[in-house]
């Protein structure tokens, strides 16, 4: 996300306008404005385990319930909510509210908000403003640090989420896979980001996985690239990716269609050795053979992914060090 970007979510009764992003503040702060009358999921009592939250009313009024007490804020008034404190907030009075929100640290809240916008546009949020069961389960499991409902107990929420996702997998769920891979790279984030953002470089360092990749230009929001790759299993895959998240040198994400369909997100953060890399890969196998074999061969497909990521781990660091003008480590 960038300052000025807007997420419009009518089914949730709100519009979000970003003012300061994690990339602009080094992850220390996320600032955005909420306009409307949030309802359903956003208006539930909830907890931010690791983030403090500040709300300042720009217009309208805001009702906040915390520590068993209600407080109504008018224009120019604000409230601080410590990390880990259960609370609820929603528009009071009539008409739309307009509230400035600051979260410290930013964590992955931008990604969470973007996920909500995607769910709203795809029909995965009900008319009353609540995510459907599988969508809710994924929110619980994918964003444990950014927030969760105040009730029921967290252990029960996570148990529900795991049960729902297990049931979805048993039903095949269209060949769905969710992978999270993390490792450290002894190279500057800028060099690592340049390689991950530009799919045209993949055949040079992600070998022998990527057989070919092409694009009409350098990476930027909306840029499309085409890939041809394989793993240890005896099939080739072809995909087309469109960059949807581009925040150098921290975040690069893309929507993917073709033999695989889904979304990938690379997240780079500082590490003692250089750069910590996290890859979130949420994908459906749309190639007919893969979709047919998914219920039986899921463990084998996961093994295939692990093998491919190991090739990325082996090739990314020396390539990033060369790009940064550093000597390769032995």
Helices and strands: H and E segment counts in the chain:
7, 18
pLDDT at 164: 78
Q: What residue ranges do the domains of the chain occupy?
A: 6-169, 174-323
| 6-169 CATH fold | Jelly Rolls (2.60.120)
pLDDT at 188: 96
- Partners of 182 in the β-ladder: 278
Interatomic CA distance for residues 214 and 162, integer angstroms: 38
| 174-323 CATH fold | Alpha-D-Glucose-1,6-Bisphosphate; Chain A, domain 4 (3.30.530)
* Cβ 86 vs Cβ 46: under 8 Å: yes
The tens-digit pLDDT sequence of the chain (330 residues) is: 788 899 999 999 999 999 999 999 999 999 999 999 999 988 899 999 999 999 999 999 999 999 999 999 999 999 999 999 999 998 998 889 999 999 999 999 999 999 999 999 888 899 889 998 888 989 999 999 999 999 888 898 998 888 877 766 665 545 678 899 999 999 999 999 999 999 999 999 999 999 999 999 999 999 999 999 998 877 788 999 999 999 999 999 999 988 888 899 999 999 998 999 999 998 887 665 555 555 556 677 788 899 999 999 999 999 999 999 987 775
What's this model's pTM, rounded to 2 decimal places? 0.56
Hey, do 6-169 and 174-323 end up sharing a CATH topology, with the first three levels equal? no
Interatomic CA distance for residues 173 and 291, integer angstroms: 9
């Amino acid at each position: 996300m960038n300052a000025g970007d807007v997420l419009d979510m009518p089914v949730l009764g709100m519009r979000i306008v970003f003012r300061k992003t994690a990339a602009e503040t080094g992850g220390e702060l996320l600032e955005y404005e909420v306009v409307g009358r949030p309802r359903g999921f956003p208006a539930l009592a909830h907890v931010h385990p690791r983030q403090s939250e500040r709300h300042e009313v720009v217009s309208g009024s805001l009702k906040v319930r915390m520590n068993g007490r209600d407080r109504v804020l008018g224009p120019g008034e604000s409230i601080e909510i410590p990390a880990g404190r259960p609370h609820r907030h929603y528009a009071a009075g009539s008409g739309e509210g307009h509230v400035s929100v600051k979260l410290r640290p930013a964590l992955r809240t931008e990604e969470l908000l973007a996920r909500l916008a995607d769910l709203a546009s795809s029909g995965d949020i009900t008319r009353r403003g609540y995510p459907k069961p599988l969508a809710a389960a994924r929110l619980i499991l994918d964003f444990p640090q950014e927030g969760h409902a105040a009730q029921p107990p967290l252990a029960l929420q996570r148990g529900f989420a795991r049960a729902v996702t297990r049931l979805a997998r048993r039903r095949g769920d269209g060949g769905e896979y969710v992978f999270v891979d993390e490792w450290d790279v002894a190279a500057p984030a800028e060099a690592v980001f340049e390689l991950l953002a530009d799919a045209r470089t993949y055949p040079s360092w992600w070998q022998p996985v990527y057989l070919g990749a092409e694009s009409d230009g350098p990476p930027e929001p909306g840029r499309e690239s085409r890939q041809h790759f394989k793993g240890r299993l005896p099939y080739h895959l072809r995909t087309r990716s469109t960059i949807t998240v581009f925040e150098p040198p921290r975040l690069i994400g893309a929507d993917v269609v073709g033999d695989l369909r889904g979304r990938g997100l690379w997240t780079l953060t500082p590490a003692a050795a250089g750069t910590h890399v996290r890859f979130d890969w949420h994908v459906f196998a749309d190639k007919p053979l893969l979709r047919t074999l998914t219920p039986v061969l899921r463990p084998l497909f996961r093994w295939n992914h692990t093998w491919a990521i190991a090739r990325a781990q082996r090739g990314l660091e020396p390539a990033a060090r060369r790009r940064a003008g550093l000597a390769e480590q032995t």
